[in-house]
Every structure is written in structure tokens, then in C-alpha cells.
Amino acid sequence: MIGDTTLIAPETGCAPARQPEVLRAGVIRERGQREVFCGLTGIIWLHRKMQDAFFLVVGSRTCAHLLQSAAGVMIFAEPRFATAIIEERDLAGMADCQDELDRIVDRLLTRRPEIRTLFLVGSCPSEVIKLDLSKAAQRLDVKFSPSTRILNYSGSGIETTFTEGEDACLTAIVPEMPTAAATDAANLLVVGALPDIVEDQFGRLFAELGIANVSYLPARRMADLPPVGPNTRFLLAQPFLTETAGALQRRGATRLDALFPFGAEGTTDWLRAAADAFGVDPAHFNRVVAPGRERAKRAITHCRERLEGKTITFLPDSQLELPLARFLATELGMVPVEVGTPYLNRELNARELALLPAGTRLSEGQDVDLQLDRVRLDRPDLTVCGLGLANPLEAEGLSTKWAIELVFSPIHGFEQAGDLAELFARPLRRRDVLRV
């Protein structure tokens, strides 16, 4: 049965008992070369989720090349994203950028009349030349209203790191959400793009719990955006939604504090936050959650023997690092050595931080060469890093798990807990089976 006790952080070695202050003081803050994606990359999964939206990046050939490299083979299925590449004549003032943009959007929407929302996505070049995309969005919005809404956000590298692109996009959507009156019944909002199958699983659990009014941001179709108001409670499904959370709070919604829904315990805690907020009877909660929770525990036991006691280092990538390190430490017995994150939001991660084993080194930001020096010194059993570093580290004899897969694969919730553990176990198993 499930107890109501809070989780106890595992202690590693002879480390002193956990003290949040020590953790706080122990964060390494670095500035230097960052080996990370920019926020434009978020488009790759956001456009799959939002089925009637199109993402038009206004940027350079580099931006188009990045999207193409990140999208892999997906680029060929007539994707709902593209780049308006700024050319010499745009910069030299020979062409008015705003006129050019109008021309391109015209052409695009004629070709794809089924598009209901068009995002103009800012990039480094468009930010640096101060091309006013919000003005362009307003102007085009009037022109194409009501059939197509035109919104704008920035996915530039100078402002956003990888998953922060989703944060910026959702922040731009929040003002579009209908207003719920103060007299409306309380509703639950799950925030963060999740694979459909995961969203459906959560949907069933909420229904069984008796929480009727549940919706998701982003919605699969922009026409179905859920209302938000003072009776809205929201759960973040992803840890990188700092700005979105702020925007929702400014519209009166209340954030439910919880662990992020990774693993049996994370998912239980996350669901419990909603159950508590909606007055679900604890006994009923336990009855509903028990089967999934037990299944999740069973599914991860297969990996536990392989992962228990193994050391792991996360290089900064997506902000998922903290919750994932917590999951690996508390449920699989792994020993986090260094957990790097591009940005550390202490408020959203407070509960995650409290569960990290004592002695875990935290780092925010990056100076990649210095960080790699630490990895080489630590020689963790597994290093979670980007694709630019993975093969070079493997060549140095370090096992790696490439981080971007954690953003593209279904990993949230009970039913994915085993898959999530397997993502980390597989490179180690492979290392053991290979005889070449």
C-alpha cells in the first residue's frame, strides 16, 4: 500500500545529512562556452502536438540548417514549420523586412489554408537587427483574422536554451486562453507538451480520481484552448516552464507544487497534488493510483540491479536534469555526481532539490571545457549529454546517454517509468555485451 509519508532522500557514502543550505551554497555557476541547443529546437516537438499550428522562423540559413539537422528525417513529411531566411537585401534596406514578411506569410497561408495559428518565431539574427515581430504579428493578425491567428515568440539562442523555446511559445499562448469567471467551477490545467498517449493516461487517472474538469496546455488544436481564471489550478508536467507559470499566475491561476511526474514516486506525488487541491478522499486516491504505481515499480525493478550504485553526471541541456537525477537516485539507487542544468528555478524545483542525495554537485550554466575536465576526473559510469559530446566521450571510454532522446520520448507517468529507466540502462547493457 501507499503511505502518505514523504520520500526520504537516500544517503550516499559518508556524506553528511542533507542540508538545503549546503546545496544552495554548493551550486557551481559557470559562464563560458555552452554546448546547448537554442529554443528554436522546441518547434520540432511543438508542431507535432499542435496540429493546426505552423511555425515560421524568421532567421538566417543557420536557423534553417539547425531545424533540418534537429528534425532529421521528419523534415520531409511536409512539416508545419519553415524558415524565412533573411538575405543581404533585407539587411541592406533594399527590401523592407516587414513587407517581405507579409509576402511570405501570404504565400504560406495560401498554400496551407488549414493553418489556424501561425507563430512568427524570433531568432538571433531577427533579435539583433531588432526586427519587430510582435508588430508584424499584430498587423498580420488583423489581416488574417478570424481564420488564422498570428502570434509571436522568440526561440533565439541569445535568449532561450533548448526547452525554453516551449516555455516562450506557451507564454505567448496564455493571453489567447479564454477567461474563466470567478464563479466558474475549479478546473485543472496540465501544462507542458506531452505525447498524446501520456496525456490520455493522465486523463483517465484524473477521471477515475473524480477530477472532471481537466485540460491541457498546449491543446492539440488551438481552437480548443482551455479557459483560465482564479479558480484554475495548474500542474506543470515539465520543469522548464518558468515564464508560462508566471503568465498563468498573472491570470489568476494557482500552481500546484509537486514533484515532476517521473517514476512511480514522482507521478504519485504529482497526482496527489491535484487530488489534494480538488478534495479527493485519500483512500480513494490510493485505490486509484495503486495499480499504476505498482506497475511502475515492477517495470523499473528490471533496471534496478543494473543501475544501482552506478554514478551518473548530467550535462546541462533541457532542465529535465534535476527531476531525472532525483528519479534515478530515489527509485533506482543511482549516485548523481554532478547535475548540470542550463537554468535552475529553485521555486519550481524545491521538492526535487530536497530529494537529491547529499553531496550531489549542482551546476547552473556551463563552461563546457571546464565541465568536461570534471567529467574526466569523476569518470561517472554514465554521462548524459548532447550529441555533439556523446561520441567523443565514448571514444574516451566513458558511457553516455544522449539527452535529446529524453525530450522526444514518452517518459512521464506510471506506464512510462520502465521505459525511462531502460533509457539509462541500455547504454550500460550495451557496453557490457559488446566484445569488439
Interaction of residue 136 with another protein, rule CB under 8 A: no
C-alpha dihedral over 305, 430, 409, 419, to 10 degrees? Answer: -30
Instruction: Give the burial class of 135: count Cβ atoms within 10 A of its Cβ; 0-12 exposed, 13-18 middle, 19 or more buried.
Output: exposed
Which residues, 6+ apart, have CB-to-CB distance to 126 below 8 Å?
A: 58, 59, 86, 133, 156
String of contacts with another protein for each residue 321-350, x by CB under 8 A: ------------------------------
Interaction of residue 156 with another protein, rule CB under 8 A: yes
Interaction of residue 77 with another protein, rule CB under 8 A: yes
H or E element in which residue 121 lies: strand 117-122
Alpha helix segments (H runs only) across 308-413? 321-332, 350-355, 368-378, 387-395, 405-408
Task: CB nearer to another protein: give 176 or 369.
Answer: 369
Q: Judged by CB under 8 A, which stretch of 141-149, 177-185, 246-254, 380-388 contacts another protein?
A: 380-388
Among 85, 186, 219, 428, binds another protein (CB under 8 A): 85
Q: Scanning residues 46 to 75, which ones bind another protein (CB under 8 A)? A: 58, 60-62, 64-66, 68-70, 73, 75
β-bridge mates for residue 421, sequence order: none
Interaction of residue 29 with another protein, rule CB under 8 A: no
Task: CB nearer to another protein: give 356 or 425.
Answer: 425
Interaction of residue 101 with another protein, rule CB under 8 A: yes
Task: CB nearer to another protein: give 8 or 395.
Answer: 395
C-alpha grid cell for residue 13? Answer: 557514502
Interaction of residue 318 with another protein, rule CB under 8 A: no
The 10 Å Cβ neighbour count of residue 104 is: 16
Interaction of residue 356 with another protein, rule CB under 8 A: no
Interaction of residue 107 with another protein, rule CB under 8 A: yes
Task: CB nearer to another protein: give 26 or 79.
Answer: 79
Among 9, 12, 18, 37, binds another protein (CB under 8 A): 37
The backbone region for 397, taken as left when phi is positive above 0, alpha when psi lies in -120 to 50, beta otherwise, is left
Give which of 136, 137, 153, 157 is closest to 36, Cα–Cα.
157
C-alpha grid cell for residue 10? Answer: 537516500
Interaction of residue 96 with another protein, rule CB under 8 A: no
Alpha helix segments (H runs only) across 210-281? 242-250, 263-277
Which residues, 6+ apart, have CB-to-CB distance to 433 below 8 Å?
A: none
Interaction of residue 125 with another protein, rule CB under 8 A: yes
Q: Judged by CB under 8 A, which stretch of 80-88, 281-289, 346-354, 376-384 contacts another protein?
A: 80-88
The footprint of another protein on this chain (CB under 8 A) covers a number of residues equal to 84
Q: Judged by CB under 8 A, which stretch of 3-11, 91-99, 320-328, 331-339 contacts another protein?
A: 91-99
- φ and ψ at residue 340, rounded to 5 degrees: -100, 145
Interaction of residue 30 with another protein, rule CB under 8 A: no
Q: Scanning residues 190 to 229, which ones bind another protein (CB under 8 A)? A: 196-197, 200, 204
Interaction of residue 300 with another protein, rule CB under 8 A: yes
Interaction of residue 90 with another protein, rule CB under 8 A: yes
Give the separation between CA 191 and CA 194, rounded to whole angstroms: 9
Q: How far is CA 81 from the centre of its chain?
A: 19
Task: CB nearer to another protein: give 110 or 183.
Answer: 110
Interaction of residue 382 with another protein, rule CB under 8 A: no
